[in-house]
Amino acid sequence: VKAIGRPEKAVVTTCAYCGVGCTFRAEMRGEQLVRMVPWKDGKANRGHSCVKGRFAYGYANHKDRITRPMIRDSIDQPWREVSWEEALGYTAGKINDIKARHGARALGGITSSRCTNEETYLVQKLVRSVFGANNVDTCARVCHSPTGYGLKTTFGTSAGTQDFDSVMDADVIMVIGANPTDAHPVFASRMKRRLRQGAKLIVIDPRRIDLVRSPHIEAAHHLPLQPGTNVAVMTSLAHVIVTEKLYDEKFIRERCDWDEFDDWARFVSLERNSPEFLEAVTCVPAQTVREAARLYATGGNGAIYYGLGVTEHSQGSSTVMTIANLAMATGNIGRPGVGVNPLRGQNNVQGACDMGSFPHELPGYRHIHDAETRSVFEKDWGVTLDTEPGLRIPNMLDAAVDGSFRAIYIQGEDILQSDPNTRHVAAGLEAMELVIVHDLFLNETANYAHVFLPGSTFLEKNGTFTNAERRIQPVRKVMEPANGYEDWQVTQMLANAVGANWNYTHPSQIIEEIARLTPSFAGLSWERLNEIGSVQWPVNEKFPQGSPVMHVEGFASGKGKFVVTEYVPTDEKTGPRYPLLLTTGRILSQYNVGAQTRRTDNVVWHDEDVLEMHPTDAENRGFKTGDWAKLASRTGETTLRVLVTDRVAPGVVYTTFHHPSTQANVVTTDFSDWATNCPEYKVTAVQVMPSNGP
Ligand code: SF4
């Protein structure tokens, strides 16, 4: 306090980085933010924080911030700074012209998991009710869309089942395709506390992540599977549980459809689904699978936590359903200490999905085909909605190349850097007549934009974020927006320029509308949130205090649904030209494509992506740590330095995607989840060759 001086003002708000959703006291001197202090009453963090939330806020005042709107007629022209009035008039003119020539379905938008619930709600409302079609999608397309599909199909609700505190009641913790130490550090600390108290740990991950062995923690079982074989591993676990009769018959008979369980049980019992049969596919010793299955089924409360190592596969949705099957079969649902919990990467992935950001679903995960739901929104919004689901992000890009999709509004998302097969994304953007980027910085996607609308940071706005445990928390304005407007105001101005007549004056009115139209949020209001601090949805007449644990008395859809999930190998194959498998992830000090963390002066370590390679593979290719390497796939190539480590298995290499200089997604493929098109980031066949550097 002495070094930075006493704060003159403090505002309690919510971190805008990961899905843990830590609460902070933002301390100000004058107009300057001097310190972020983890807030002891924050229900998600209880006074703790990680390096990103605590120190990485400098990007808010970074010189790269764009604070005035810009336009240009074509992407080879220089940007021209203009007034808000001119930018919005120009954009609206183009939108109305394209709509007149090509129809409403030629227009679309992308919402951001970094923006507030109210902002994402307005973007989907803009696309559906002002543009006039359902071409709205969100960055969850490339991360947790399989969670939405898989948990809705099995449990009836697209959300994790527990609050974070629940982990303290777990006896067995299974972590699948997630690295909480780096990606969800504050929750990881709570999990580690429980592990140090004696809970048993099963890790299913191709890498030997920190949790496998760290001070005072040793996983009971690590299943270092071959990337792309999640369904095979989960099915072999189920085989053991069913054939050794370790399932919870009482729970299944009471809470699930017994006939569906029976079909599933017969399927997983097949010899071809045994750990011994599948060992050749998964590379996990059969005995390890058997012991892990027995531990999960019989070790007491079993809790599953998973991440993008589950979802970002061609069988991402299937894997989510295998996890749900396993939890239902063992009765690990509906009480503290159990459950199935997706660890969300971005701060508001859950919220963006809740708010109707998918092309087939209105807010609250209700299908656009449902006439009754449509009529609720039509009456409130005073429009007639398109009855057909719109396009997903990859389909928008395909349709742009074909000429039928002409314009896109992208809020807070850098799809050129974050989405797979960069060349294909660039081709789709280049083919469009109008690309509107609404962001803090001139990101990579803005290279293809015709309109740039400056965005506001989480420090400059009011609203709410929903974290990975469905906790809706207030975001409070700490400073005035550098560009003059909060993001929800910009979307409103754009809607009105195109012809709407919206007149929200505060996000509290948007929350009121969301609560009025969405049963799971019916008990929500800005005033109530400010009184109680936070609440976990569903919050309504049935659950007036919110819902820390879901499915306590029954599943939303009545009975839990077992789904047969056959393992199907990915089409991405290794071979003589591309003999290694690349998988990707993130590190503690950086966040996603690094737009914010790379612009924060006090977080300077890890300033490049590196390629982890097993000593055997490194020796075979003559690499030592620090050497430059060319990483090539069927899709493209990039250059980065090698880190020799036995954290990865022979035949597997690993990197992160935080730096545009690496552009790791140049090498990832177009393969995607069969149900949701979530890209298969986690499996790319590659070759690694010596290089002199970029
Ligand atoms: Fe922010 Fe996540 Fe770190 Fe908490 S754990 S401070 S929410 S980045």
Q: Is 82 exposed, middle or buried (0-12, 13-18, 19+ CB in 10 A)?
A: middle
Q: Which residues contact 285 (CB under 8 A, 6 or more apart)?
A: 279
Asked if residue 17 has its Cβ within 6 Å of ligand 1, the reply is: yes
| H runs (alpha helix) in 126-229 | 145-155, 180-183, 185-196
Residue 560 is given by DSSP the state: B
CB 158 within 8 A of CB 365: yes
Asked if residue 15 has its Cβ within 6 Å of ligand 1, the reply is: yes
CA 187 to ligand 1: nearest atom: 5
Position 590: which residue type? Q
Q: Is 69 exposed, middle or buried (0-12, 13-18, 19+ CB in 10 A)?
A: buried
- CA of 14 relative to ligand 1 center, distance in Å: 9
Cis (ω within 30 of 0) for the bond into 507?
no
- CA of 471 relative to ligand 1 center, distance in Å: 14
Asked if residue 44 has its Cβ within 6 Å of ligand 1, the reply is: no
43's tokens:
């229900």
Cis (ω within 30 of 0) for the bond into 538?
yes
Asked if residue 19 has its Cβ within 6 Å of ligand 1, the reply is: no
- CA of 229 relative to ligand 1 center, distance in Å: 30
pLDDT at 557: 78
Q: How far apart are the first and last CA of the chain?
A: 44
The neighbour count for residue 2, using CB atoms within 10 Å, is 5
Return the best residue to mutate from 39, 184, 597 for the ligand 1 pocket (most ligand atoms within 8 A of CB): 184
- CA 45, chain centre distance (Å): 20
CA distance 116 to 355: 10
Residue nearest to atom 1 of ligand 1 (CA): 53
CB 632 within 8 A of CB 687: yes
Residue nearest to atom 6 of ligand 1 (CA): 53
CB 643 within 8 A of CB 611: yes
Position 53: which residue type? G
Asked if residue 24 has its Cβ within 6 Å of ligand 1, the reply is: no
CB 444 within 8 A of CB 416: yes
Return the best residue to mutate from 12, 14, 15, 35 for the ligand 1 pocket (most ligand atoms within 8 A of CB): 15
Q: Which residues contact 1 (CB under 8 A, 6 or more apart)?
A: none
Return the best residue to mutate from 12, 14, 20, 588 for the ligand 1 pocket (most ligand atoms within 8 A of CB): 20
44's tokens:
């998600």
CA 49 to ligand 1: nearest atom: 6
Average pLDDT score over the chain = 93
- CA of 20 relative to ligand 1 center, distance in Å: 6
pLDDT at 429: 97
- CA of 21 relative to ligand 1 center, distance in Å: 6
Residue nearest to atom 4 of ligand 1 (CA): 22
Asked if residue 561 has its Cβ within 6 Å of ligand 1, the reply is: no
CB 661 within 8 A of CB 593: no
Residue nearest to atom 2 of ligand 1 (CA): 18
Asked if residue 22 has its Cβ within 6 Å of ligand 1, the reply is: yes
- CA of 295 relative to ligand 1 center, distance in Å: 31
pTM of the model: 0.91
Asked if residue 50 has its Cβ within 6 Å of ligand 1, the reply is: yes
97's tokens:
């012209």
CA distance 527 to 693: 56
Position 181: which residue type? T
Asked if residue 18 has its Cβ within 6 Å of ligand 1, the reply is: yes
CA distance 179 to 263: 34
- CA of 335 relative to ligand 1 center, distance in Å: 26
Q: Which residues of the chain have pLDDT under 70?
A: 1-5, 587-589, 591-595, 598-599, 601-607, 658-664
Asked if residue 53 has its Cβ within 6 Å of ligand 1, the reply is: yes
326's tokens:
């396993």
Q: Is 651 left (phi over 0), alpha (psi -120 to 50) or beta?
A: left
Asked if residue 45 has its Cβ within 6 Å of ligand 1, the reply is: yes
- CA of 623 relative to ligand 1 center, distance in Å: 35
- CA of 389 relative to ligand 1 center, distance in Å: 34
ipTM: 0.99
Residue 444, φ and ψ in degrees, nearest 5 = -65, -40
